Structure 1
Amino acid sequence: MKTQEFLETLKEHQGKSLLFEYAPNLLVGANYHITEVKHVTIDSVDCGAGVDAWKETIIQLWEDPNELGKTEFMSASKAIGILSKVGSMKPYVADADVRIEYSNANFHAAQLYVNDYEIRNGNIIIKLASQPTDCKAKETCGVAEPVGAASEAGGCAPGSGCC
Structure 2
Amino acid sequence: MKTHEFLTLLEQHKNKTLLFEYAPNAFVGNNYHITEVKHIQVDSVDCGAQTDAWNETIVQLWESPNDIGKDQAMSVLKALGILNKVGRIKPYNPVAELKIEYSNDAFHTAQLFINDYALQNNSLILKLAVQKTDCKAKEACGIKEEAQPLGEVAEPCCEPGGNCC
Is the TM-score greater than 0.5? yes
Q: What letter corresponds to residue 133 of structure 1 in structure 2?
A: T
Q: What letter corresponds to residue 140 of structure 1 in structure 2?
A: A
Q: What letter corresponds to residue 155 of structure 2 in structure 1?
A: A
Deviations 1:84-143 (A, max 9, x none): 000000000001010000000100000001111100011000010000000000000110
Kindly indicate whether the alpha-carbon contact (under 8 Å) linking 2:135 and 2:157 is maintained by their aligned counterparts in 1. Answer: no
Kindly indicate whether the alpha-carbon contact (under 8 Å) linking 2:116 and 2:128 is maintained by their aligned counterparts in 1. Answer: yes
Aligned to 1:156: 158
Alignment of 1:140 onto 2:140: yes
Aligned to 1:128: 128
Alpha-carbon offset, residue 157 of structure 1: 2.5
Q: What letter corresponds to residue 141 of structure 1 in structure 2?
A: C
Question: How do residues 10-159 of structure 1 correspond to structure 2 at under 5 angstroms?
Answer: 10-145=10-145, 152-153=154-155, 155-159=157-161
Whole-angstrom distance in 1 between the partners of 2:31 and 2:96: 27
Whole-angstrom distance in 1 between the partners of 2:143 and 2:131: 19
Whole-angstrom distance in 1 between the partners of 2:162 and 2:29: 47
Alpha-carbon offset, residue 156 of structure 1: 3.3
Give the secondary structure class of the aligned counterpart of 1:78: helix
Deviations 1:39-95 (A, max 9, x none): 001100000001000000000000001111101110000000000000000000001
Residue 42 to residue 155, structure 1, CA distance change in 2 (3 Å):
closer
Alpha-carbon offset, residue 160 of structure 1: 2.2
RMSD across aligned positions (CA): 1.5
- The total of aligned residue pairs comes to 161
Whole-angstrom distance in 2 between the partners of 1:88 and 1:155: 43
Moved over 6 A (4+): none
Residue 154 to residue 82, structure 1, CA distance change in 2 (3 Å):
closer
Alpha-carbon offset, residue 155 of structure 1: 4.9
Give the secondary structure class of the aligned counterpart of 1:162: coil
Structure 1: gaps (5+ residues): none
Alpha-carbon offset, residue 152 of structure 1: 4.0
Whole-angstrom distance in 1 between the partners of 2:157 and 2:36: 40
Q: What letter corresponds to residue 19 of structure 1 in structure 2?
A: L
Alpha-carbon offset, residue 159 of structure 1: 2.3
Instruction: Give the TM-score taking structure 2 as reference length.
Output: 0.93
Whole-angstrom distance in 2 between the partners of 1:49 and 1:125: 40
Whole-angstrom distance in 2 between the partners of 1:63 and 1:155: 38
Give the secondary structure class of the aligned counterpart of 2:73: coil
Q: Identity over aligned residues, as a percent? A: 60
